[in-house]
Amino acid sequence: MAGEKDYVYSALDILKMLPHRFPFLLVDRVDSIERPNTDTKVGRKIRAVKNVTINEPFFPGHFPHRPVMPGVLQIEAMAQVAALACVDLDGPKMDVAIAGVDGARFRRPVVPGDTLEISAEVIKDRSSMLVLKCEARVRGQVACEAELIAKMFPLEAH
């Protein structure tokens, strides 16, 4: 249908939910979110996209002869997607911080022109501590995967 959006959150929505800004905002769009109607966040799933362009500020130094997205930034992109799974656009303002990274694996290089398709699922909910299984794919191939431990806390009004 004309005018019907095929995403859940646009870049402008994401700016309202995450504190990150250029050059550190690493999520372009959220395609889907599942939020089971339960007392916990377990089972929440999200799928989002990061378009990787040659204009990324890290490519000139990593590496000039063969540009590759740093693994730590792939983890950060997954963490930002994980945070979006934990907060609600219309809910209380929360901040989410990485408290741990377990089992991180890098399976293929991420290069200019790739689209990272990032998914995250809440697998444990212990009040303000959440564990999320995260994965980033490029054209169906796993590029990066990890379990992230996230700490949530109310965002204080300034």
Domain limits at 124? Answer: 11-154
Predicted confidence band of residue 5 (pLDDT cuts 50, 70, 90): confident
Selection from 124, 137, 131 nearest residue 52 by Cα: 137
Which position has the higher pLDDT, 18 or 91? 18
Residue 6 lies inside a defined structural domain of this protein: no
Selection from 87, 78, 120 nearest residue 13 by Cα: 87
Give residue 9's identity as a one-letter amino acid code: Y
Residue 76 φ then ψ, to 5°: -60, -40
The answer, as to whether pTM is greater than 0.85, is yes
Q: Is the pLDDT of residue 158 over 50?
A: no
Residue 140 lies inside a defined structural domain of this protein: yes
Among all residues, which ones are annotated catalytic?
Answer: 62
Q: What is the CATH number of the domain that holds 32?
A: 3.10.129.10
What average pLDDT does this structure show over 63-75?
A: 96
H-run or E-run covering 118: strand 115-126
Residue 26 lies inside a defined structural domain of this protein: yes
Residue 76 lies inside a defined structural domain of this protein: yes
Residue 5 lies inside a defined structural domain of this protein: no
Residues near 131 by beta carbon (within 8 Å), at least 6 away in sequence = 122, 123, 124, 147, 148, 149, 150
Residue 47 lies inside a defined structural domain of this protein: yes
Range in 1-5, 31-35, 70-74, 84-88 the model is least confident about: 1-5
Selection from 115, 114, 122 nearest residue 147 by Cα: 122
Cα separation, 93 vs 104, in Å, equals 29
Residue 2 lies inside a defined structural domain of this protein: no
Q: Summarize pLDDT for 13-67 with one digit per residue, the tens.
A: 999 999 999 999 999 999 999 999 988 999 999 999 999 999 999 999 999 999 9
Domain tally, the chain: 1
Residue 74 lies inside a defined structural domain of this protein: yes
